[in-house]
Amino acid sequence: MHDLAEQHKDADVVTLRELTKHLGDRTFGMYLVLVAVFNVIPLVSMVAGLVSVAIGLQMALGVAKVWLPKSILDYPLKASSVRAALLLIERKIKTMERFIRPRWQFSEAPVVDRINGMVVVALGGVIVIPLPLANLGPALIILLMGLGLMERDGMLQVGAATIGAIAVVMILHFAIG
């Protein structure tokens, strides 16, 4: 996060394509982390929710590498806002990284990615709803899921998916009932 923030400190605008061009094999995790970070930027969170849905659908369908439309990848974001969000989240992630490590290797199975994808789709749908602060809980769960994917921490992935599914069920229960 710190390196991403520093790479663009002198820029006026930055795009998602620029932020993610060196991801390697951890594309889904890093995209989920970045999208979750964007939820602290007002109004950008609605777009981030749609991007979360798109990424989740690709995970659920078993797509090997994230694909996003050119309009999203090249959408100009105010670099100072992105940098501030990255640096804010970086401190929190450093604290969490003390507890995140590769474990529960069964989570590398395609079925787990598909389940995670469905949970991300549902959470992204909640993020899109324009209610003040309603996006922060789902964004945190997506952040945890992304970190779990990046660090190959199956326990974190399963925990985030479980909490996410429970949160979506509760939100639907209160919205419908």
Mean pLDDT value across residues 11-17: 79
Q: What is the pLDDT of residues 86-125, one digit of tens each?
A: 777 777 777 877 788 888 877 777 788 888 999 999 999 8
Res 22: pLDDT: 62
Rounded Cα gap, residues 91 and 12, in angstroms: 23
The structure's pTM equals: 0.75
- Domain range for 137: 1-176
How many Å separate Cα 155 from the centre of its chain? 17
Which among 56, 65, 54, 35 is positioned nearest to 114, based on CA atoms? Answer: 56
Q: Tell me if residue 158 falls in helix, strand or coil.
A: helix
Rounded Cα gap, residues 81 and 75, in angstroms: 14
**80 pLDDT band (50/70/90 cuts)?**
confident
Q: What is the pLDDT of residues 134-173, one digit of tens each?
A: 788 888 899 889 888 888 888 998 899 899 989 888 888 8
Rounded Cα gap, residues 98 and 107, in angstroms: 20
* 62: CB partners within 8 A, 6+ apart: 110, 113, 114
Number of structural domains found in the chain = 1
